[in-house]
Amino acid sequence: MAPPTKTTELRLASADGPVNRKVLDTPVRDASPSEIPIIDVSAIFSESLDERRAVAQQVRAAATNTGFFYIRNHGVPEPIQEDCHAAGLDFFRQDMETKMRADWSKSAVLDTCVADGTAEKKYPEIRCGDWFQKRLNDMLNLDEAEGF
């Protein structure tokens, strides 16, 4: 019988608050393409609530278990995708000093643990840089928008 695989328990920030996860004590490796979920999101445009919920469940499962995923049939035109990719390359190919002018911790629309230390005090084992939250209401003024 093979000896049991050793694991380490990590405490991570999640959309549901801090969670504990056991991870294998094995060397880091690249994920194979078959391990990255590809989610067909075309059903988010469906009139069927069950179909939309099914997509949401797939996204949640991928985000919770794998941490990332690809989507297809999202309806974003190819030229816009190409422009976004090019903009990302333009940004990340800049020198570090220029990129740091976009430092999220200096943003007026991000609620971070840097601002008041609340998250660090409550969960000291979670590094501040690993936990931030966009404040949608501040970004979009939803209190003043029609229909909200």
pLDDT tens-digit map of 43-77: 999 999 999 999 999 999 998 888 889 999 999 99
- The domain segmentation of the chain, as residue ranges, is 32-75, 76-102, 107-139
Rg of the chain, C-alpha, whole Å = 20
Tell me the pTM: 0.55
pLDDT at 33: 86
Q: What is the pLDDT averaged over residues 81-87?
A: 93
Question: What percent of the chain lies above the pLDDT cut of 90?
Answer: 41
Question: What is the percent of the chain where pLDDT is above 70?
Answer: 68
Cβ contacts of 91 within 8 Å, gap of 6 or more: 99, 102
The Cα–Cα gap between 127 and 104 comes to: 15
Mean per-residue pLDDT, 31-36 = 88
10 Å Cβ neighbour count for 8? 9
pLDDT tier, 123 (very low <50, low <70, confident <90, very high otherwise) = low
Q: How far apart are CA 55 and CA 92, in angstroms?
A: 31
Q: Which residue has the tokens 């920030």?
A: 13
Kindly report, residue by residue over 95-118, the tens digit of the pLDDT. 999 988 887 666 655 554 554 555
30 or 139: which carries more pLDDT confidence?
Answer: 30
